[in-house]
Structure 1
C-alpha cells in the first residue's frame, strides 16, 4: 500500500483481502496520529471484517478500497469508498437495529456523494452510489435509480450488513461497461463544477450577509476598493505576475463584504456565467465567522426557495456557499497533503506522487485569487511548526516535522505554485491579534522579503500606522522594490458610517490613555451612546429597552474573564455551531444572544457585530495609576499578574489589550459597559468573603471609564 495523506488506508482489492485484519487496523490507528477511542476501534474492526466478506467475489478485479477518505477542502470524511468497474461507492456505517433509521443519516451519505460530484475533479460526471449501512437493519433497498439532484448520483441505498454485497452486485448489473476511473482518483484536485459555482452566485446575490456583518461603509468607498483590487488582479493576469494586496479598514467598514464581492466579481466579470479559469475564494481562519456567514446565507437561500415552493434542502445551500467561503485551515491542509514529507533542508517541495499537475494551475489550487480575511491572525512560524510537528491540536492531523515557514509564508508559497499568475488579497484589522501565536502583518512582509522577492506588493498607506506590525511596516518594506501604495486600499468611511470611524478612534484613545478621548466621545455620543453600570440586571434592561424588532443584543467577555458566574452569566461553549445559534436564532430560542445569558468572547465575535452589546469588564485588565495591569485567574483562588519583560509575556499582554479593543467595537448602535462592584463582604474574622472579587480590582477601571464622560445608569 502506498502512503496517502487523503485517507487512513487504501489498497487494491487483492492486497486488502490478503492483509490481516489486525494489520489493517494497525495502519488505520497509526494514520490517525493520536489516541483512538475504543468505540472507533470496534467500528473499524467491524467494517474491515464486513468489507473482506463483501469483496471476495471481486478479488480478481482491479478495484480499490479506501477507508476514512477526506474530501478535499471540505473537512468531511467518508467511512469507506469503493472504486469498482468505473463506479464510486460511498459507504457510511451507522450502528443500529431494524428500527434505527434516521433521515439525517440518509442525508449525510447523499451529501458525501454530492460533495464528490461537485468538488472532486475525478468524480465529476462519474456514477456515484451512496450506501447507508445500518448494522442490524433487516431490509435492503430494492429500487436503484438516479436522484433528482444529478444524473450521475443515485438515490441513497440502505441496507443492513448482510445486504451490502447484493446491493453492489445489483448496481454493477444495472450500469455495466462504464469507463475505468482515474488511477490517481485518491489525490484528485479540488475543483468546483460550473453548476455549483452558478448556484453559489445565485445564493450570494441575496446579500443577506450584510445583516450579519453589519456592513455600514459607504458604497462609493467599498466600490473604489473593490475596483482597485480587480485592477491589480487584471494587471497580474495580463503580465503573468504574482501579486499581493493589503487592505485596511476600521471595524464595521466592510472588509468581509469587500472580500466576498471580489470573489464573486472576479469569477463572473460581468457575465451571466462564470469565466473559465478565473476563480477566486474567500478564506478565513475564524471558524465562528465562517460558520455564521455560511449558515446565514444558506438559511436565507433555503427560505427563499421554500417560499417559491422549490424543492431544496438546507444542506444544498450550505454546499453552494462552500464554493466561495472556506476555512483557511482546510485550504492549508489540502496543500500540505501535496508536499514531500519529511521536509528536507528547510525547503518545501511538491511530491508528484501525492499531487496531480493540472494544465491550468500546475500543482497549485484551482483558484487564481485567494482572499484572506483577518490576515493579521495568521500563525507565526513557531506556532505552525509546533502544531504540525504533533499532528494538530488533537493529534489527528497530518504530521510534518521541521516545517520551515509561517502560515503567511506557506499561503504565499501555495499560490506561488501556480505557473501562470496569482493574486492574494489580505484583509487586515489593526491591533486585533488576540490569540497566542498570531503573527500580525509582519510575518507576511518578512515572507515576501525573504522568500518571494518577485511578488508585487500593493498596500494601503494606513498599513504603516502603529496598530499594524508595531508601526514597523515602512522599515520592513524599505528594501523591497516592488511596493506600490494605494489610498483606495483603505476602507475610509464618511458620514454614512460616522459611527464606525469615530468609535474606532475613541476606543484606540481609551486604551492608550489619550487625553482627547473625552472630546472625541462628545462628537458622537448623541448618535452612539456608551453607558456605564455596575449592575448586570441594569445592563440587561438597558439592552432590552433599546432593541427593536429583530435588532440583536448580547453580552461580551474576554476569554481571560473568570468571575462572571456570580452575575448569572455563562460563557458560550466553544464550537462553531454554538456561535451560529448565538448569532442567528431569534428571541424565542434560549441559545440566542438575545437571551443575555451566554456571553461570547473575542474569539467567537471577531469579524461579526451586534446591534447593542454589553461588555462585562472583569478583573483580567485593570486600570491602576494611569496604566493597564493584566491578570490571569488560576482557576481556583487568585488572579496572577502577567508581568515580566519576556517576549511571550509581552505578547500575552498585547493579546489581552487587543481582546478589549475587539469587544469595544462589536456593537453597531450602542454599548453598555458593566464593571462589577465585586464583593465587599467580609467574614466575622475580618477576611474578604470572596478574595477573587475584591472591589479594588474593579474600582479603578470604573473610575477611569467614568472620567471619559460616559453616562452612568
Structure 2
C-alpha cells in the first residue's frame, strides 16, 4: 500500500507478502537516495534483503486473518523528520502498539545495538505526536542467530526464526489512520548548534515541545517587556536568568538579540560570552560575527574609555563566570571586576538592560570563584540606581537593592538531555560523596534511557559509540577530558597543553570534513572548550587530577586559586554533563585510579 507516490515504503502485512522482491528493493533504493542524496552501499542493500527474507517467512508463519493482514502496517526505513537520515529498519503499527524492529546481521548482540533500538523507541515515543499514546516496543532482531528470545534493558532480543512467536501476541487488531501517523509532527531535541542555525534560518525560536513546556517563550516575552520599560523610563535594569545545564539560556539570549534587531531594523542588542570556544563555534556555525562577541574584547573597548556602546541591551552568557578584580587587572587597564565594568558601561547610557545568563556550579577558571557576589556588589556600588529582576532564590545576594522576582527567569527543564535534572542531581551526589543517593538516581537514568557506562579500555568506548551511531551521521560523539594532563597522553588521549591549544574547536563541533571533527575520535576538548556545548555521547577520559579515596581528592591543586578543589570539582561537573543521549567514562588502567573506577560502579554506572 502506498500513501502517495513519494511514500513508497509503507505496506500492509498482506501487501508486503504479495510484493516482488525486485519491486520492494527498488523502492527502498529510491527512498535511500531521496533521504541521503546517495546510493545505498552494498552492505546496506544486503541488510535490506536479509530483513526481507526474514519478514516474508515470519509474517507467513503468523497466519493472520485476511482482514487483519490488510489493516496492520509495516513501514521500512522510516526517516525521522529533522534527524538527518536516522531511520529505524522496520516499524509495525497494530492497534495501540508501535513495534520498532532493528535488524543486525549478527548471532550475538552488543550494548551499542541494544541502545540504538532503545533510543529509536524513546525518540518516537517522546517526539512523534501521533505516537505519544501508543505503546512503543523496541526489538533487536539478530539475523544470524537461532533460537533466541530474551529481554535485556527493556529491549526484546530475538533471532529471526522466533520473531513470529513474539509478534503473534502483539499483532492483535488493525491500525487506524495510517496517513495521520505517517505525517504526524515530529519535534526532536536539537543540539545548541542545530537550534541556533534553525533560529537564524527560520527567524523564529525552534518550536520544540520542550521549549514551550519549559516556558522559554514566556521568558523571552518578559525580557522584551522589561527592555521597552527601560527605554521608556530611562532606567537601568539587571535581569538574571538561571537554569540547569542545557536549559536553553544561551538560546534565550540569541533569540532576544535576533528579535530586537529585527524589530528595530538595527543592532539594538549584543550577545557576549567569556566562553571563547562557544563564541567561535556559534560564529562559525551561523556564519555571523555581528550578533555574537567575546566579552573581554567588548569590555576592552568600552570599560576603560569614554566610548558608549550603541546597543541598549547587553547580554552576558555564563555571567557566573565573570572575572573578579584580581583576574581582570591582569588583562585590562583598570582593576574593576567584570560586573562592575558592565554596570559602569551601562551607566554611560540613558537606559540599559543588562542580562546575565547564569549557570550554577560551573565556575572553572581562576578568578571566577566569587560568582554572584560580584554582581551584587557592583549594583550596590553604582552611582546610578539599578533594579534587579531575578528568580527568588537569588534574593539573598541583593539585600538592600531594588529587586523584582520573576518565576520564569529560573529555567528548570533541559533542552540538552532527556534526563538533565536527574543527571545533574546524580553528578552533584557523586561529587559530594553521597554514593548511595547517586546509585538510586542512576537507576532512574537507565530506566529513562540515559545510560552512563564506564570502561577501562579506550577501544571498547570508541567501538561502542561508532556502532551505536553507525547509521546516524547527525549524531555526535568525541573525546573530552580534564585540562590537567597527567597520565592520559600515554593512554592515547592527548589532553596535554600543546595538543588542546592547537585544536580548532569550531571544527571539532561543526565541520564534518575536517580532521579535528569530534567523530574522528583523535582530538580532545577540555572543560574550557566544551562548557556550554554538547555531544550526543561523549567519551570522558578520566585523569589523575581528580581521584577517589574514600573522598574526592584534588590531586593537582592550583596554588594560585582561592578554591582549587571547588574549581576541580566544577571541571568534572562540566565534563560529566556534556552528553545528550548518555555518557561513557574511560578510566585508564592505572592503579591510582582503581578506587575511582570502583566508586563510579558503586554510584550506578555500568561496565561495558
SS in 2 for 1:436: coil
What is the root-mean-square deviation of aligned Cα atoms in Å?
Answer: 2.7
Cα contact 2:316–2:357 (8 A) shared by 1: yes
Measure, in 2, the Cα distance between the counterparts of 1:254 and 1:534: 34
1:216–1:254 contact (8 Å) kept in structure 2: no
What residue in structure 1 maps to residue 509 of structure 2? 583
CA deviations over 1:96-119 (Å, ceiling 9, x no partner): xxxxxxxxxxxxxxxxxxxxxxxx
Q: Residue 673 of structure 1 aligns with which residue?
A: 585
| Residue 654 of structure 1: how far off its partner (Å) | 1.1
Alignment match, 1:701? 596
Does the 8 Å CA contact 1:244/1:455 hold for their aligned counterparts?
Answer: yes
1:295 shift after superposition? 0.6
Deviations 1:440-474 (A, max 9, x none): 22211111112256100011234x4xxxxxxxx61
Answering whether residue 464 of structure 2 is matched by residue 542 of structure 1, we say: yes
Name the CA distance, whole Å, in 2 between partners of 1:618 and 1:207. 42
The 1:665–1:591 alpha-carbon spacing in structure 2 relative to 1, beyond 3 Å, is same
Contact preservation (8 Å) 1:291, 1:576 = no
Q: Output aligned runs, 1:609-648, within 5 Å.
A: 609-625=534-550, 627-632=551-556, 642=557, 648=560
Distance, in Å, in 2 between the alignment partners of 1:293 and 1:630 is 33
* 1:420-439 superposed Cα distances (whole Å, 9 cap, x missing partner): 21101100110101111124
2-structure distance, mates of 1:555, 1:496 = 18
Q: Secondary structure at the match of 1:525?
A: helix
Shift of 1:292: 0.5
- For residues 552-581 of structure 1, give each alpha carbon's deviation from its aligned partner in whole angstroms, at most 9, with x where no partner exists: 111111111321122212238455871011
Q: For the residues of structure 2 that align with 1:707 and 1:288, how far apart are their CA atoms?
A: 34
From 534, 537, 555, the counterpart of 2:479:
555
2:276 pairs with 1:287: yes
Alpha-carbon distance, 1:663 to partner: 0.6
- The alignment's TM-score, normalised by the length of structure 2, stands at 0.63
How far the C-alpha of 1:267 sits from its partner, in A, is 2.2
Deviations 1:647-674 (A, max 9, x none): x555221111100000111111010011
Q: Tell me which residue corresponds to 1:443.
A: 374
Provide the C-alpha distance between the structure 2 equivalents of 1:224 and 1:425, rounded to a whole number of angstroms: 16
Matched, 1:234 2:228: yes
Give me the whole-angstrom Cα distance separating, in 1, the residues matched to 2:212 and 2:575.
23
Partner of 1:434: helix, strand, or coil? coil
Aligned partner of 1:533 in structure 2 is 455
| Cα separation, 1, equivalents of 2:205 and 2:217 | 15
Note the 1:289-304 alignment, pairs <5 A: 289-298=278-287
Q: Which residue of 1 aligns with 2:295?
A: 328
Stretches of structure 2 lacking an aligned partner (at least 5 in a row): 1-195
Distance of aligned partners of 1:233 and 1:654 in 2 relative to their CA distance in 1, 3 Å threshold = same
Residue 250 of structure 1 corresponds to which residue in structure 2?
244
User: Are residues 559 and 215 of structure 1, via their aligned partners in 2, closer, same or farther at CA, if it must alter by over 3 Å?
Assistant: farther
**Counterpart of 2:385?**
454
- Whether 2:542 is the aligned partner of 1:601: answer no
Q: Distance in 2 between matches of 1:591 and 1:416?
A: 43
Q: What secondary structure is seen at the aligned counterpart in 1 of 2:290? A: helix
Given the alignment, which residue of 403, 407, 422 partners 1:487? 407
**Runs of 5+ consecutive residues of structure 1 not aligned to the other structure:** 1-200, 299-320, 339-349, 351-362, 389-399, 465-472, 633-641, 679-694
Distance verdict in 2 for CA 1:446–1:220, change over 3 Å: same
Match of 1:386 among 298, 314, 330: 330
**Structure 1 contact 555–616 (Cα < 8 Å) conserved:** yes
Q: CA deviation at 1:595?
A: 1.2
Other-structure match for 2:150: none
Deviation at 1:537, TM superposition (A): 0.9
Q: Conserved in 1, the CA contact under 8 Å of 2:319 and 2:357?
A: yes
In the other structure, the counterpart of 1:477 is 398
Among 215, 218, 235, the alignment partner of 1:221 is: 215
Question: Does the CA contact (< 8 Å) of 2:362 and 2:573 recur in 1?
Answer: yes
The answer as to whether partners of 2:245 and 2:414 remain within 8 angstroms in 1 is no
Check whether the contact 1:208–1:297 (CA below 8 A) recurs between aligned residues.
no
Q: Which moved more, 1:656-665 or 1:591-600?
A: 591-600
State whether residues 372 and 427 of structure 1, in contact with CA within 8 Å, keep that contact through their aligned partners in structure 2: yes
* Alignment CA distance shift 1:528-1:204 (3 Å): closer
Q: Specify the alignment match of 1:522 in structure 2.
A: 443
Q: How does the TM-score come out when normalised to structure 1?
A: 0.54
Question: Which deviates more from structure 2 when the two are superposed, residues 559-568 or residues 608-617?
Answer: 559-568
- The alignment partner of 2:580 has SS state of strand
Where 1:371 maps in the other structure, the secondary structure is strand
